[in-house]
Structure 1
Amino acid sequence: MSYNKTPSITAETINPKVKIFNYEPCGEIVRYAERLQQEMDENPGSLPFPEIIHCNLGNPQALGQRPVTFFREVLCLCDNPALLNKDEARALFSPCAIRRAQRIINSIPGKETGGYTDSRGVKSLRQAVADGISARDGYPSDPDDIFLTDGASSAVNMMMQILIRSHEDGILCPLPEYPLYSASIILHGGTMVAYNLTEDRDWSLEIFEVKRCLEEARSAGLTVRAMVVINPGNPTGQVLSITNQEEIVEFCRKEGLVLLADEVYQDNVHVENKKFHSFKKVARSLGYDETDLSLVSFHSASMGFYGESGRRGGYMEITGFGHDVKDQIYKVASVTICPNIAGQILMSLVMDPPKLGDESFEIFESEKEKIHSSFWKRAKTLEKAFSSLEGVSCNNIEGALYLFPRLHLPSLAIKAAEAEGVSPDVFYTHRLLDATGIAVVPGSGFHQVKGTIHIRCTILPDEDKIAAMIPRLKAFHESFMNKYRGSEPYMKDLRR
């Protein structure tokens, strides 16, 4: 008997859509940082820096942020309900955490966190999220409109599955964008219709630019079905004004577009003259109800001061859809049976935290203020550092957790990148990592405007790490610029 020795699947025979997209926040720069870390572990002192500083990904707890005490107490008790009946629990856990955990456990089928739940999530936890939305916005929210999900990413993917029928369906997305959107559009066979944010106006969203892109897409035969808005912005860090949000709501309503509102950084606003307002609140304040606008809002427990990225907690609120469409969304959600229950619980806690009078309130507020204050300091420190570099412009960070500085590199550096067959931002970021151990993401991974060069840097490393990285960053950048101007030798530590 002969056997076919040809591999069943190769890089040439996999789904071609998988090969098209890139996801740079976890891409080549991260894999290279891992190789350097392994080299450091195996040969201490072999590299010109003491540690890798990961500024590439929003991963708060991996970068030193402490978990919120109340959240972890409730999670612990929910996963170990036998503790609720022990006297020792009263010495270890706050009374309000015990009460909350008991209430949650009693509402879960089987009173255990190890079983399946409703595909949208436990009803009582969806009710907590809906109540939190109502309190935030001043307008009612229905728990049957809430789908708890494994982070906001799975919710975005689910909506792309629902919206995209073929490559003739287009989704409006901002540039620069968070690559989750381009990746999910490609994987589901749709077409991304890009609209540019305006960098020299603090990454503002100009509605005339969106209209232009919509008209061009329709002229090309596309059916544009939805518009993605990220507020606060990732990677750009802007916070939209209410006036701008009203323009967007009116535009989507007039053009019959589903508004996909990525609001996962809603608790991260760093400037006093801006506040977060949900698109649902803006739409309702304009007098529009479910018959006027189809709106999906995404939120997550991964970012903000919660920082529970690995728990994969998220939700989407779906309004302005008929029951027949919601039934189909429910069916898609059911393919994965249900979202993980720790993430469900966390999302309910995010939207229903301790209140004034609860025993945990003061500790909760203290932890929240400490983290937010530290975010602000770190953002301003990095913003100032990048702005001080020759040939670098950096907009003020208004919200979210990232800076997106623009680099104006010497022509020799651009030619050197071309000679290696890489873009200038990739060329720069690899050399920065090689020389300093600082891992940032090339701006091309976020589909920056053609002809521009950016990097994305998270503000999440702790204040000591940021203080340590800034002298390294400045020394590297000065040496890099000098070399590619041809005025001085490159810094000796550089390995490439």
Structure 2
Amino acid sequence: MSTSRLLSPLQIYNGIRLRQSSTSFHRQKSAVGFRSSWALERQARRAMATYQPTLTAENLNPCVKVMEYAVRGPLVIRAEEIEKELEQGVKKPFTEVIKANIGDCHAMGQKPITFIRQVLALVGYPKLLDDPHFPEDAKQRARTILAGCRGGSVGSYSDSPGIEVIRRHCAEYIERRDGIPASWENIVIGGGASDAIKNVLKLLICPINGKKPGIMIPIPQYPLYSATLAEFNMHQIGYYLDESKNWGLTIPELERAITEAKKVSAPRAIVIINPGNPTGQVLTKENIEEIVKFAYKERLFIFADEVYQDNIYAEGSKFHSFKRVMHDMGEPYNKMELASFMTASKGYMGECGLRGGYAEVLNMDPDVKKQYLKAITAMLCSTVFGQATLDCVVNPPRKGEPSYEQFMKEKNAVLGSLKERAKMVADTFNSIEGYSCNPVQGAMYAFPQIRLPPKAIEAAKKKGQAPDAFYAFELLESTGICIVPGSGFGQQPGTHHFRTTILPQTEKLKVMLEKFREFHADFLKRYS
């Protein structure tokens, strides 16, 4: 009998032999002298042991190894393990894991906006356009989106920068917001703001006079930036926000940071997150003007991360777009390069998983813009469902349309509840011994400082952990609350913080905050 039909050891090891026909299986058993399956498995393991992978940890892209993303780091991995343990009946001092580490609105109990989901249902299954249960304005939005899709289907590719009619709606939204013209040709839609940010940032990857390109980012910062700069092998220029001034941004600190950076890099851009993440501050118009003047003097491309522009809570705080401020400042500031970013993931919508966001790119050199758009084409297009979600945000129901009253009721309810929770979180942390927390003026997070006892810091060193990471792991194991240590965002040396969302619904948030209080009191007893 021929042995040419013997399965390879790797196939045997993967169990593929079980899929063979009974006759073929018996021929193979005969050919190998009825050796046991254990012997065959050993043969397979030996064969695999001789194979040397082409890609190893030693020859992996070093930029990937350096890259870290704290929001989904080791604490989250442990939190997911704990969730599985709870499912398996393992006894814990808590019954659920509260993931306060990430701004995932719907995962924390926020209900989707009805109008958005109606439009998505209609574009996904157009037969519903004949269903009388759907309001006419939702149907009109769906028909407009489908008319912009090739073949009338959201399953088709769109133009790489996005569906033209949705880009036009984005421009109209910006015009309504700022009261000044916006061109749809300056809008590029991406898979969330993160995708849009990275697409612009990669244009700056070019050494200048033998030095790495440098990007100024706030400290604390959203880890997308530090992770992306590591991935792109760009130099991170951190400028510290002033915690004593409610995380204010000061020009002397910008000057210090860029002076130091020029010794080792070529500064090319500055990132501003407004409202702030993780710090929750909202910039004044005067502060933005100062930043623009600084960027002009240093010839920096401005990245305005404005994804939380709907999330303003504190009395006296107001969102001012960089575009509008630069316009009002006149020449030469209104001629500067600017990329501003918005998303459907935050605000009152919270549609994180659908991945829809845009960049508005202004005053980019025409030759550079051609290359930018060319680079976008390599990704084909962002998800069309994400684009449809974004369209609902920038083209919402208008007064007089059937969905308007319900839409405004749901939107205001979400933002009103977030405003209450923002105050509740800051007030509670400030009432706990050893905590201090600035007001949450905007966005979705608090970034309290914790004063850790020396014994706790020493215990962290013995474990090889940052002190705030040590604290966060202890909190997770004791209470089931998952937060992100401040060291994952950056902080002034010698200080310790953590970021928590304000997203748990009110009753669960009250429970979570009480757990914080009890845990911290016990922590101080153990380590004081």
Displacement of 1:209: 0.9
> Separation in 2 of the partners of 1:161 and 1:430?
35
In the alignment, what sits opposite 2:374?
331
Q: 1:77 aligned to 115, 118, 122, which one?
A: 122
> Separation in 2 of the partners of 1:297 and 1:108?
26
Normalised by the length of structure 2, the TM-score is: 0.89
The residue correspondences of 1:275-290 to structure 2 (distance < 5 A) are 275-288=318-331
> Separation in 1 of the partners of 2:105 and 2:242?
29
In the alignment, what sits opposite 2:82?
36
Q: 2:215 aligned to 140, 150, 171, which one?
A: 171
In the alignment, what sits opposite 1:489?
none
> Separation in 2 of the partners of 1:471 and 1:275?
31
Contact 2:293 2:333 in 1 (8 A): no
Contact 2:97 2:480 in 1 (8 A): yes
Displacement of 1:287: 1.3
Contact 2:70 2:484 in 1 (8 A): yes
Q: Does residue 352 of structure 2 align to residue 309 of structure 1?
A: yes
Partner secondary structure for residue 215 of structure 2: strand
Partner secondary structure for residue 183 of structure 1: helix
Displacement of 1:291: 6.6
In the alignment, what sits opposite 2:5?
none
Displacement of 1:276: 0.5
Q: Which string of whole-angstrom CA distances, capped at 9 and with x for unpartnered residues, describes residues 44-71 of structure 1?
A: 5x00101111100000011111111111
Q: Does residue 412 of structure 2 align to residue 369 of structure 1?
A: yes
The residue correspondences of 1:226-375 to structure 2 (distance < 5 A) are 226-288=269-331, 292-375=335-418
The residue correspondences of 1:199-218 to structure 2 (distance < 5 A) are 199-218=243-262
Contact 1:290 1:321 in 2 (8 A): no
Normalised by the length of structure 1, the TM-score is: 0.94
> Separation in 2 of the partners of 1:288 and 1:43?
66
Q: Which string of whole-angstrom CA distances, capped at 9 and with x for unpartnered residues, describes residues 66-114 of structure 1?
A: 1111111111111111222x2xx12x21111011111221122221101
Q: Does residue 26 of structure 2 align to residue 26 of structure 1?
A: no
Contact 1:289 1:320 in 2 (8 A): no
Partner secondary structure for residue 398 of structure 1: coil
Contact 1:270 1:376 in 2 (8 A): yes
Q: 2:172 aligned to 131, 155, 163, which one?
A: 131
Q: Does residue 77 of structure 2 align to residue 5 of structure 1?
A: no
The residue correspondences of 1:147-158 to structure 2 (distance < 5 A) are 147-158=188-199
Displacement of 1:444: 0.5
Partner secondary structure for residue 479 of structure 1: helix
Q: Which runs of 5+ in 2 are unaligned?
A: 1-46
Displacement of 1:197: 0.5
Q: Does residue 526 of structure 2 align to residue 480 of structure 1?
A: no
In the alignment, what sits opposite 2:94?
49
Q: Which runs of 5+ in 1 are unaligned?
A: 486-496
Contact 1:48 1:436 in 2 (8 A): yes
In the alignment, what sits opposite 1:402?
445
Displacement of 1:12: 2.7
In the alignment, what sits opposite 1:488?
none
Contact 2:94 2:479 in 1 (8 A): yes
In the alignment, what sits opposite 1:112?
153
Displacement of 1:331: 1.0
> Separation in 1 of the partners of 2:515 and 2:240?
33
> Separation in 2 of the partners of 1:412 and 1:403?
26
Partner amino acid, structure 2, of 1:364: F
Displacement of 1:185: 1.0
Displacement of 1:199: 0.5
Percentage of identical aligned residues: 42
> Separation in 1 of the partners of 2:358 and 2:193?
6
In the alignment, what sits opposite 2:230?
186
Displacement of 1:158: 1.0
Contact 1:163 1:225 in 2 (8 A): yes
> Separation in 2 of the partners of 1:380 and 1:446?
22
In the alignment, what sits opposite 1:68?
113
Displacement of 1:482: 1.1
Q: How many residues align?
A: 479
Q: Which string of whole-angstrom CA distances, capped at 9 and with x for unpartnered residues, describes residues 347-398 of structure 1?
A: 1221121111111111011001111111112112221221111111100000
Displacement of 1:221: 4.4
> Separation in 1 of the partners of 2:264 and 2:106?
46
Task: List structure 1 segments (4+ residues) > 4 angstroms apart after TM superposition.
Answer: none
> Separation in 1 of the partners of 2:256 and 2:335?
23
> Separation in 1 of the partners of 2:357 and 2:64?
25
Which stretch shifts more, 384-393 or 133-142? 384-393
Q: Does residue 51 of structure 2 align to residue 15 of structure 1?
A: no
Q: Which string of whole-angstrom CA distances, capped at 9 and with x for unpartnered residues, describes residues 292-348 of structure 1?
A: 200000111101110000000000000011221111111111111011111111112
> Separation in 1 of the partners of 2:438 and 2:331?
34
CA RMSD of aligned residues (A): 1.5
Displacement of 1:13: 2.4
In the alignment, what sits opposite 1:492?
none
> Separation in 2 of the partners of 1:285 and 1:231?
18
Partner secondary structure for residue 251 of structure 1: helix
Q: Does residue 187 of structure 2 align to residue 146 of structure 1?
A: yes
> Separation in 1 of the partners of 2:342 and 2:375?
19
Q: Does residue 468 of structure 2 align to residue 422 of structure 1?
A: no
> Separation in 2 of the partners of 1:75 and 1:323?
35
Partner secondary structure for residue 65 of structure 1: coil
